[in-house]
Amino acid sequence: MDQPFDTRPFPFDNSYARDLEGFYVPWQGSKAPKARIALLNEGLAASLGLDLDASDPMLAEILAGSETAEGSMPLAQAYAGHQFGGFSAQLGDGRALLLGELLDGEGQRFDLHLKGSGPTPFSRGGDGKAVLGPVLREYLMGEAMHALGIPTTRALAAVTTGELVPREGLKPGAVLVRVAASHLRVGTFQFFAARQEWDKLKTLADYAIARHAPDLREADNPYLALLEEVSRRQAHLIAQWMQVGFIHGVMNTDNMTISGETIDYGPCAYMDHYDPATVFSSIDHMGRYTYGNQPPVARWNLARFAETLVPLIDPDNEERAINLATDVIADFMPIYKEAYHAGMAKKIGLSSLERGDDKLIDDLLTTLRGQSIDFTSTFRALADTLRSGREPILTLFEDREGIVGWLERWQARLSSEDRDGAAIADAMDRVNPLYTPRNHLVDAALVKAEGEADLEPFKALLAVLADPFTKREGLDSYVGPAPQNFGPFVTYCGT
Ligand code: AMP
Ligand code: MG
């Protein structure tokens, strides 16, 4: 006898749908003409305790949003947001659906979410679709981020829909299947604050605390503690971005999570030459989201988050609430700088951050400025200097004046480390990536994938980036900056 088809590979437990009625619209995905799983993240599936078969046609339908799995309650979430500084009271999931939540082996709750599954009541004239290039880009960027040890949403699968979607010509339609600690955003709070729906805001804050920081329920002021916690997580997140040269590109408040995970990889890119003014996004005309602006922009976003929480922090005394919230926001930069310098200290081989080390770190970056030195490679070259002398680092510099003096100071500082040079160099290589998603590599892989339906270069790049720290034979073409003829790089939102 034929087995009945198992429509329930996912043991859903949907707290958002259950506890937050009025925060979303129940919605179904569009019918994909021919859903096919192009890529399944088997490692992630296994770590989440999911037993998925990429060749299963029903799974493809479910992950395209065409069919609803048993236990799923697909919904489009409401949120608002400041985009490039301007407030939109209603954004929301215009092309996304939350299928539901699952618990992993450790009882951690995560969202199973689709991006590109068709229009919703929040689409605002958009077609609700996504195309293969940007879907694969988000897949790759998230996996690279995860391998770097940086909190991020991750791709579980990329599904092609069999549809051609108009985007500067016709492009293959696709859906990104994404997992996240949650999809609560600063913009989710702004949605209800803008409508002055204080009861809903309290429900949302209580939900966020229960889901992301349950210990805070015991705090004297749980809502102030929530602000502190989100601010701390974002400070650590941005510090990690800065340490690897990651530029998010669209740090709008709807793209900032409450969980502290990186979300919504659009026009993001890794900086090649060190320059705080680096910006790649074609839509960022004012340079609002440059590399160097990311910490102050995060603080600005958190100030918007703080504003939404004021009525909860002290419902009877607004001035007191504002003062308390302002103090938290004022602490953001010191917390960020501490996290940033602590991480940078490890990158230059220091086991702890001592007095004066922040200056040593900042001065290294000053010597890089204005020279065409690859940011990522610099730190590996520094480690090599400890193994084989100064040549590896000096050859990178056109103007060696600054770096020679800096190397003296650095090596004097390292002499107080309780380890020999080889051990320090090895420790440095464990935190300084050799392989990052360089713009020219990502571009080349996506051109093959989208243009020629050849996923092999993409898969090869994905495999390299899964272990960014360990040097392997035969991967030299993945190291180092773009060839000269690659030209200036511009990223596009690709919606
Ligand atoms: P993003 O720039 O991806 O963070 O998206 C900002 C807002 O635009 C969100 O509300 C999205 O749901 C919406 N959006 C982006 N692309 C589309 C699209 N193709 N169709 C409908 N809504 C979209
Ligand atoms: Mg977004």
Which residue, of 313, 340, 367, is where some domain finishes?
Answer: 340
Alpha-carbon gap, residue 7 to 329, rounded angstroms: 47
Instruction: State residue 5's pLDDT score.
Output: 45
Instruction: Judge if 83 and 231 occupy the same domain.
Output: no
Instruction: Judge if 202 and 57 occupy the same domain.
Output: no
Instruction: State residue 2's pLDDT score.
Output: 42
Q: How far is CA 299 from the centre of its chain?
A: 17
For the chain, the average pLDDT equals 95
Instruction: State residue 208's pLDDT score.
Output: 98
Instruction: Judge if 253 and 274 occupy the same domain.
Output: yes
Does a structural domain hold residue 363? no
Residues 6+ apart with CB under 8 A from 186: 81, 253, 254, 256, 258, 301, 302, 304, 305, 308
The torsion angles phi and psi of 109, rounded to 5 degrees, stand at -85, 135
Per-residue pLDDT tens digits for 45-85: 999 999 999 999 999 999 999 999 999 999 999 999 999 99
Q: How far is CA 228 from the centre of its chain?
A: 20
Residue 241 in contact with residue 150, Cβ under 8 Å?
A: yes
**Residue 50: CB atoms within 10 Å:** 19
Give percent of the chain above pLDDT 90. Answer: 92
CA distances from 446 to 95, 114, 145, 440 (A): 22, 20, 18, 10
**Quick check: CB of 171 below 6 Å from ligand 1?**
no
**Quick check: CB of 118 below 6 Å from ligand 1?**
no
Planar angle of CA 291, 295, 298, nearest 5 degrees: 115
Which residue, of 180, 198, 232, is where some domain finishes?
Answer: 180
Residue 1 reports pLDDT greater than 50: no
pLDDT tier for residue 107 given thresholds of 50, 70 and 90:
very high
Instruction: Judge if 322 and 253 occupy the same domain.
Output: yes
Strands (E), 152-258: 154-166, 170-180, 246-247
Does a structural domain hold residue 161? yes
Instruction: Judge if 162 and 61 occupy the same domain.
Output: yes
In ligand 1, which atom is closest to the CA atom of 125?
21
Instruction: Judge if 52 and 171 occupy the same domain.
Output: yes
Alpha-carbon gap, residue 327 to 355, rounded angstroms: 25
Strands (E), 54-153: 75-77, 81-83, 86-88, 96-103, 109-115, 130-131
- Residue 396 is given by DSSP the state T
Tally of domains in the chain: 2
**In whole angstroms, how large is the CA radius of gyration of the chain?**
23
Instruction: Judge if 36 and 163 occupy the same domain.
Output: yes
Does a structural domain hold residue 97? yes
Instruction: Judge if 29 and 56 occupy the same domain.
Output: yes
pLDDT tier for residue 109 given thresholds of 50, 70 and 90:
very high
Alpha-carbon gap, residue 357 to 368, rounded angstroms: 17
Does a structural domain hold residue 375? no
Which residue, of 340, 361, 386, is where some domain finishes?
Answer: 340
Per-residue pLDDT tens digits for 168-183: 999 999 999 999 999 9
Residue 116 in contact with residue 135, Cβ under 8 Å?
A: yes
Alpha-carbon gap, residue 286 to 104, rounded angstroms: 42
Give the tokens for residue 35. Answer: 């859903």
Residue 485 reports pLDDT greater than 90: no
Does a structural domain hold residue 133? yes
Residue closest by Cα to atom 22 of ligand 1: 94
Per-residue pLDDT tens digits for 276-334: 999 988 888 899 999 999 999 999 999 999 999 999 999 999 999 999 999 999 999 99
Query: Ligand 2 centre from 278 Cα, in Å?
Result: 21
Does a structural domain hold residue 440? no
Query: Ligand 1 centre from 379 Cα, in Å?
Result: 37
Ligand 1 pocket check: which of 95, 115, 191 to mutate, most ligand atoms within 8 Å of Cβ? 95
Give percent of the chain above pLDDT 70. Answer: 98
Instruction: Judge if 137 and 232 occupy the same domain.
Output: no
Global pTM reads 0.97
Instruction: Judge if 173 and 227 occupy the same domain.
Output: no
Question: Alpha-carbon torsion 135, 141, 146, 152, what sign?
Answer: negative
Alpha-carbon gap, residue 76 to 56, rounded angstroms: 26
Instruction: Judge if 215 and 100 occupy the same domain.
Output: no
Neighbours of ion ligand 2 (CB under 5 A): 255, 264
Query: Ligand 2 centre from 186 Cα, in Å?
Result: 11
Per-residue pLDDT tens digits for 389-433: 999 899 999 999 999 999 999 999 999 999 999 999 999 999 999
Does a structural domain hold residue 77? yes
Instruction: Judge if 19 and 154 occupy the same domain.
Output: yes
Does a structural domain hold residue 328? yes
Q: Which domain holds residue 327?
A: 186-340
Q: How far is CA 385 from the centre of its chain?
A: 32
Query: Ligand 2 centre from 5 Cα, in Å?
Result: 35
